[in-house]
């Protein structure tokens, strides 16, 4: 017969209720595994290593500043604009899949 932990005699720590429930208020005599687990002092919660999604939503997103690229070499966009400005006429066909055709 399993002995449950109960202080009032009818309700046990594991949730079972019965008028014929064998129960005891002494923790040393309890043999129900569920009651024993509920009597054990809960261990400290493990330390969170990463923030939860709720914590991340609470914090405002940090705005990233646009950092200008240090002279990393040749800028293709600026070079292309300089090349187009150097052309003698401004009548150019739009670029498509084929190569640029100049008129």
Angle at 83 between CA 79 and CA 87, to 5 degrees: 170
Q: Is residue 66 part of a domain?
A: no
Q: Is residue 67 part of a domain?
A: no
What range does the domain containing 32 cover?
4-39
* Residue in this structure with the two tokens 């919660």, named with its chain if needed: 45
Global pTM exceeds 0.85: no
Determine contact, residues 12/37, Cβ cutoff 8 Å: no
Q: Is residue 49 part of a domain?
A: no
Task: Tell me the helix, strand and coil percentages in the chain, rounded to 5.
Answer: 25, 10, 65
- Number of domain units in the chain: 1
* Residue in this structure with the two tokens 């070499």, named with its chain if needed: 73
Alpha helices in 4-75 (DSSP H): 33-39, 53-58
pLDDT digits (tens, 9 = 90+) for 11-39: 788 888 878 888 888 888 888 888 888 88
pLDDT digits (tens, 9 = 90+) for 46-76: 776 788 888 888 877 666 676 666 666 778 8
Token pair of 43, please? 């261990």
């Amino acid at each position: 017969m399993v002995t449950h932990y109960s202080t009032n005699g009818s309700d046990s720590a594991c949730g079972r209720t019965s008028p014929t429930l064998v129960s005891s208020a002494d923790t040393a005599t309890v043999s129900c595994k569920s009651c024993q687990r509920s009597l054990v002092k809960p261990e400290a919660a493990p330390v969170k290593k990463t923030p939860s999604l709720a914590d991340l939503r609470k914090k405002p997103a940090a705005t990233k500043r646009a950092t200008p690229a240090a002279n990393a070499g040749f800028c293709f966009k600026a070079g292309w604009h300089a090349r187009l400005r150097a052309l003698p006429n401004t009548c150019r066909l739009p670029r498509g899949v084929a190569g640029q055709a100049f008129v």
